[in-house]
């Protein structure tokens, strides 16, 4: 089994060159499984944080983000037609439902980002709280910041996105060796919606994770 784990793309504000590199990598590696980590969309317009109305608006961002995400999955399927594909849900996808809950609670239940994230030949998980297990490895969007904490929590090898950083952590246990791989991101960090780090310099890294024969490796796309 060879699994390609694609981290946060933040469509609407993605790095187009990095996206092209991912498609080429998938075509070259011929994975049996493809998993996207969540934060497929950015949904900047629905954020509870301060934002500029000069960049986009909710309707345009959602429409354009879904258009680019659909094209992305179509190209991935074309690059690896036999691969089984999975879409996780991230905290940025949660922005839409939280926005509705804050501003139009009467529409809650009528608006679902998960229903919008349905792509041909791709299984989409139901919630950002869900995780996927393939070949004994946990795939999750991520919720901890310290590398190793997800593997310790699940007590299994684990791959995640969320932090936009990269790294591989190992620990030997009585049940064997477990590891955790933080797989970076594929967003355009120069775009205003991604400029929420304390400094213009960040430790964010564009990368993709590959797990083959249950062993992790990172492909850096910088």
pLDDT tens sequence across 61-95: 999 999 999 999 999 999 999 999 999 999 999 99
Residue 52 confidence (pLDDT): 83
Contacts of 131 (CB under 8 A, 6+ apart): 88, 125, 138, 139, 140, 154
Q: What is the pLDDT of residues 89-136, one digit of tens each?
A: 999 999 998 998 888 888 777 788 999 999 999 999 999 999 999 999
Residue 199 has pLDDT above 90, yes or no: no
Residue 146 confidence (pLDDT): 94
Q: What is the pLDDT of residues 150-172, one digit of tens each?
A: 999 999 999 999 999 999 999 99
Look at residues 130, 174, 182 and name the one whose alpha carbon lies nearest to residue 155: 174
CA 73 – CA 63 distance, rounded (Å): 16
Residue 208 has pLDDT above 90, yes or no: yes
Task: Give the global pTM.
Answer: 0.95
């Amino acid at each position: 089994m060879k699994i390609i784990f694609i981290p946060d793309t933040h469509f609407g504000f993605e790095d187009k060159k990095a996206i092209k590199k991912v498609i080429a990598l998938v075509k070259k590696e011929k994975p049996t499984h493809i998993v996207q980590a969540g934060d497929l969309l950015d949904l900047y317009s629905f954020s509870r944080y301060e934002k500029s109305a000069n960049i986009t608006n909710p309707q345009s961002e959602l429409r354009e983000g879904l258009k680019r995400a659909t094209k992305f999955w179509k190209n991935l399927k074309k690059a690896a037609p036999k691969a089984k594909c999975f879409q996780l849900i991230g905290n940025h996808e949660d922005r839409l439902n939280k926005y509705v809950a804050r501003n139009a609670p009467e529409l809650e239940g009528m608006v679902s980002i998960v229903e919008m994230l349905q792509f041909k030949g791709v299984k989409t998980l139901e919630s950002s709280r869900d995780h996927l297990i393939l070949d004994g490895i946990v795939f999750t969007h991520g919720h901890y910041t310290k590398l190793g904490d997800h593997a310790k929590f699940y007590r299994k090898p684990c791959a995640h996105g969320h932090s936009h950083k990269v790294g591989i952590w190992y620990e030997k246990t009585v049940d064997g060796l477990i590891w955790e791989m933080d797989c970076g991101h594929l967003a355009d960090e120069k775009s205003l919606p991604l400029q929420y780090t304390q400094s213009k310099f960040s430790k964010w890294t564009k990368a993709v994770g590959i797990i083959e024969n249950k062993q992790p490796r990172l492909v850096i796309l910088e």
